[in-house]
Amino acid sequence: MSFLTKARQFIDGHYKTPKGLIGTFIGEKMVRQHKTETDWSLELMDVQKGDRILELGCGAGYAIKLISEKDLAEEIVGLDISPTVILSANIRNKRAIMEKRVKLVQANLNNLPFQNEDFHKIFSIQTIYFWTEIDKTISEIYRVLKFEGVFVLTFSDGKKDEIWEGIRDIAENQVILHMMNAGFKDVSLMRGPDSRGYHTVAVRGTKK
């Protein structure tokens, strides 16, 4: 294995669980890269006054900051497995955290540390590639989402003229299937604005 291949694998590993200085850099890089996806995801959620919102894989906390600045949500909770990006999210949202409008939690997607029917809106941006047990994660999301609550999962399924069949298959035959089996209604796969040439899509569903 060449040095460049090893270096690429090392860096790619930090996208899943950012660590140390490189992890901090990767977290901020993802903020810059995913602004288009973030803006569109927030539009799909349609945050209302008094909403309690959960972001899964909150990274460096950019989406949380955008939501908190609108001053509509009662509370926004960001969850990530990486303590490195949690620290960055803490810095980015320091004031809102002090005002108890934002809370950050380090945890795994397969075992969410929240009560049943705790959130009105749940969203996740560019994390699907790292989900290891999709059925468990979807089940947990359904459990902590309130009745008539909305879940939005945003990701990329191709670039320019290329379709990533593997990701498309996961979305259609696993994510959507498990959501419908869990009890989500009005489940749909939507195409959004391209970001840096990548196709932006989202699966959206409502708990009913």
pLDDT tens readout for residues 144-175: 999 999 999 999 999 999 999 999 999 999 99
User: Tens digits of per-residue pLDDT, 136-150?
Assistant: 999 999 999 999 999
Taking the C-alpha atoms of residue 26 and residue 34, their distance in angstroms, rounded to an integer, is 12
Model pTM? 0.87
> pLDDT tier at 9 (50, 70, 90 boundaries)?
very low
Provide the token pair at 194. Answer: 């391209």
Taking the C-alpha atoms of residue 195 and residue 173, their distance in angstroms, rounded to an integer, is 24
- Tokens 């901020």, located at residue: 28
pLDDT value for 51: 98
Task: Say which CATH architecture domain 3-207 belongs to.
Answer: 3-Layer(aba) Sandwich (3.40)
Could you tell me where the beta strands, DSSP code E, fall in the chain?
Answer: 52-56, 75-80, 102-106, 119-125, 145-159, 162-163, 184-191, 198-207
Taking the C-alpha atoms of residue 81 and residue 89, their distance in angstroms, rounded to an integer, is 12
Least confident of 16-20, 85-89, 99-103, 106-110: 16-20
The domain spans of the chain are 3-207
pLDDT value for 154: 97
User: Do residues 76 and 101 make contact, with C-beta atoms less than 8 angstroms apart?
Assistant: yes
pLDDT value for 34: 87
pLDDT value for 33: 81
Taking the C-alpha atoms of residue 77 and residue 208, their distance in angstroms, rounded to an integer, is 22
